Structure 1
Amino acid sequence: MSTRDRRAWGSLTRERIVVAALDLARREGLGAVTIRRVAEEAGASRMALYRHVADKEALVELVADAVAEAVVPPVEADRPWPEQLRVFARELRATLLAYPGFADLLAARHGHGPGALRLFDTVIGIIRSAGLDGAATARWFTVFMDVVVGRVHRESSGDGHSVLLGHAPVDVEGLPHLGAVAPHLGSTTSEDLFESELTLVIEAIRAQTS
């Protein structure tokens, strides 16, 4: 970008930086978010960005926090907690898939910015409303995040379907049960797996509170 196309001195804001970085992350993944690339997206110099963010690490954290903040939907208290948890899980999965690399960042760094903390607080509030105590809530919150983030990680890694046997012929002679289901093992979609895993979590919480 030529200097003629750059923003006027002092016109760059942190909000504009975040918008430019989010657009870049959505198109190319979180790995593309660098000071140089975001400066180009924002129509600014790298030095202009450094007046708002200390380094690439701080920039990525800023973007990750904005993504986490965007995930949190309004909690509708009049809806049953299982429905709230499903809505939240679907929103979170869709957002993680929309920003390649964000699931890995969330898993590795446990994003502790304000947006991520509000995300975690909302999930915990939904699970607590089922009637669990603090220890059980903490356990099922961890399971819930592991299911959603883990599912996105597998999908992003090209392993979104499951398991063994689904992609190659298998000799099932003498294995009647395996032979009966082997033709179907590769037909389960990532969406099917996600919804089934989510149902298992919800039913396990329900069983613990009944």
Structure 2
Amino acid sequence: MGTRGTGRGRRLGLTRQKVIAAAVTVIERDGLDAFSLRRLADELDVETMSLYNHVPNKEALLDGVAELLLAGIDLSAGGTGSWQDRVRANANAFRAAAKRHPRAFQLVLTRPPHAASALETIRCALSGLSGVPLPPSELVHALRTYVAFVIGTIMRELGSAITVGVMDPDQVRHRVEEITATGDPLLAAVAPHLAVSDHDAEFRYGLETLIAGLATRTGLPYDGGVMDGGGVADSGGSL
């Protein structure tokens, strides 16, 4: 396997940035569970020990992947318009980045943030709420509620996309029958909707509910964003 002093990685121009970028590629292709430093070394055509010239261990490498993806989120659109438009823009930018890297982005959602990029993301979210008349303590509550919704909804969407995939009509019909067969009238009434998930519509609905609630709480007018769905239902599995 070689020793720490091997120069092959240096001869190939290997850098920390290249190692982390390659890790994103491997994770997206093979999944997080299958990821290893040995597999990454094979991707880069170097000996495994060469990687330790750039990252101290696997955990530090995964932190680097999270930092890279977080820093790559384009939050520029969240700096213009009304506070409601800014909140929407930031949330949609975060979700768009997650959908571009559905496997690797789980690291952003699940690992404690340490990098400057994490603070910049928080600053942008706070900037989106500027103009909302809340004291700092309640502003942090609003921020954390917003973050919890965005992260939780995206984790559910990414998890279902990876583990379940799109259900065909027969699967949906079978799921509706299963729900209806419980005999519970509350479940039966919503069975056709509970059996599928329209991730676009659900993200929109949840985000607009948060914005409308915050507007009501602070006595600000709500601009009436779109809360209903449209689009094609993607399984994501049922609830």
Normalised-by-shorter TM-score class: 0.7 to 0.9
* Aligned 8 A contact 2:83 2:130 in 1: no
Q: Secondary structure in 2 aligned to 1:130?
A: coil
Number of residue pairs aligned between Structure 1 and Structure 2: 200
Q: Find the aligned partners of 2:84 and 2:216 in 1 and give their Cα distance.
A: 12
Identify the match of residue 135 of structure 2 among 133, 136, 139: 133
Q: Find the aligned partners of 2:49 and 2:32 in 1 and give their Cα distance.
A: 21
Structure 1 residues 188 and 154, CA gap change in structure 2 (3 angstroms): closer
Greater shift, 58-67 or 183-192, is seen at 183-192
* Aligned 8 A contact 1:31 1:101 in 2: no
Q: Secondary structure in 1 aligned to 2:178?
A: coil
**Residue in 1 aligned with 2:102?**
99
**Residue in 2 aligned with 1:71?**
73
**Residue in 1 aligned with 2:18?**
16
Post-superposition Cα deviations, 1:132-185, rounded to whole Å, max 9, x if no partner, equal: 32112211111111111111222233389xxxx86734269895x776554444
CA shift, 1:110, in A, is 2.5
Q: Find the aligned partners of 2:10 and 2:184 in 1 and give their Cα distance.
A: 75
Greater shift, 23-32 or 43-52, is seen at 23-32
Greater shift, 69-78 or 137-146, is seen at 69-78
What's the TM-score once normalised by structure 1's chain length?
0.79
CA shift, 1:109, in A, is 3.0
Q: Find the aligned partners of 1:208 and 1:198 in 2 and give their Cα distance.
A: 15
Residue identity over aligned pairs, in percent, reads 27
Structure 1 residues 58 and 178, CA gap change in structure 2 (3 angstroms): closer
Structure 1 residues 78 and 114, CA gap change in structure 2 (3 angstroms): closer
**Does 1:90 pair with 2:92?**
yes
Q: Find the aligned partners of 1:77 and 1:101 in 2 and give their Cα distance.
A: 27
CA root-mean-square deviation = 3.0
CA shift, 1:72, in A, is 3.8
Structure 1 residues 76 and 121, CA gap change in structure 2 (3 angstroms): closer
Q: Find the aligned partners of 1:180 and 1:170 in 2 and give their Cα distance.
A: 8
Post-superposition Cα deviations, 1:110-134, rounded to whole Å, max 9, x if no partner, equal: 2222222221221122123433321
Structure 1 residues 199 and 171, CA gap change in structure 2 (3 angstroms): same
Structure 1 residues 172 and 118, CA gap change in structure 2 (3 angstroms): same
What's the TM-score once normalised by structure 2's chain length?
0.70
Q: Find the aligned partners of 2:104 and 2:177 in 1 and give their Cα distance.
A: 26
Identify the match of residue 193 of structure 1 among 199, 202, 222: 202
Q: Find the aligned partners of 2:12 and 2:104 in 1 and give their Cα distance.
A: 31
Structure 2 residue runs without a partner (length 5+): 1-7, 166-174, 220-239
Structure 1 residue runs without a partner (length 5+): 1-5
* Aligned 8 A contact 2:16 2:54 in 1: yes
**Residue in 2 aligned with 1:109?**
111
Q: Which amino acid aligns with 2:85?
A: E
